[in-house]
Amino acid sequence: MTAGAPAAAGIAPDILDHGLATDLAAAALAIARRFHAGATLWCAAPAWEPHAHHMAVEFVHPVIVGKRALPAFALSGPDLAAQARVAVHAGDLLIAVAAAHDPAAADVMRRAPAWGAHTIWIGSGPRPPGGAADHVLWIGDSDPLTPATGRFVLLYHLLWELTHVCFEHPGLLTAPEPGECAEEVCITCSDEGRLGEVIEPPAGPLDRALIRTADGEEPVDVSLVAPVAPGDLVLVHAGAALTRPA
């Protein structure tokens, strides 16, 4: 595209800059791959719930005739983490439209790795910390009114459009993503431990807790981090909870 085309006069050249476009492309391919593997998309927007519903309806009832209907639900209600915890299965997708400081969105994004969910976070203003979601699609603009101007609508429309382009590339839907662990043993992962969420604390001092990780539910020795309560997050390595995430 030629920069400064006459029709674009007056439009901010960074309406969708190269970095954000690249992030969108990567997110779309990740979404297509997970849908291909049977994922459901869970949509949240705690402070602007209509965005959650809009994202879900895009995927469930495509505006373009002939595009696949895909499983997507809006999560709305008073306790997002409680809803997401029971709704999300390992391999699912969780997308949020929210500011970085939104406590409900930040909470589910933090827990999502324990549920095995792949996460996409759309927002504006100050960015969430690095690694807060698998895909961070961010608009730098700090205007608190941005969520009502259509800029988020553009982002999730594009995400839907690009996801469906990916379905036309069947050979790429099953390939591992760059940086993803393709091997059973991964040095990086084994060093870091897996995020787990406490389901049931130990019944007694010598018992183990029931912990949910991306791999399922498992009994884990929590003596190093005791006492634990349901919902607490821990890092699990070799059958023991070594620490709590920072």
Partner 1 sequence: MSTENTGFLYPFIDAEERDAGPLLASLAASARLKARESAVLQLATLGTCADQIAACAAAMAGRFAAGGRMYAFGNGGSSTDCATFAELFARPPEGRPRGYRALPAMNLAADQAVVTALGNDVGFDLIFSRQIIAHSSPRDIAVAFSTSGSSRDLTTALREASGRGLLTVGFAGYDGGEMARSDAVGYCFVVRSQSVHRIQESQALLGYQLWARTQEALKALREEATS
CA gap 152, 4 in Å, rounded: 24
CA distances from 230 to 39, 94, 199, 208, 212 (A): 26, 22, 5, 13, 11
Nearest by Cα to 211 from 169, 242, 166: 242
Q: Which residues bind partner 1 (CB under 8 A)?
A: 1, 7-8, 10-12, 15-16, 18, 21-22, 24-26, 28-29, 48-51, 53-54, 57-58, 61, 63-64, 143-145, 147-150, 153-154, 157-158, 161-162, 165-166, 168-172, 175, 177-178
CB of 75 to partner 1, least distance (A): 14
CB of 155 to partner 1, least distance (A): 9
CB atoms within 10 A of CB 12: 9
Of the pair 12, 187, the CB lying nearest partner 1 is at: 12
Of the pair 107, 161, the CB lying nearest partner 1 is at: 161
Of the pair 143, 192, the CB lying nearest partner 1 is at: 143
109 three-state secondary structure: helix
CB of 170 to partner 1, least distance (A): 5
CB of 144 to partner 1, least distance (A): 4
Of the pair 130, 170, the CB lying nearest partner 1 is at: 170
Task: Name the strands in the sheet holding 72-75, side by side, starting at the edge strand that comes first in the sequence.
Answer: 72-75, 41-44, 93-97, 118-124, 135-139
Of the pair 69, 238, the CB lying nearest partner 1 is at: 69
233 three-state secondary structure: strand
CB of 99 to partner 1, least distance (A): 10
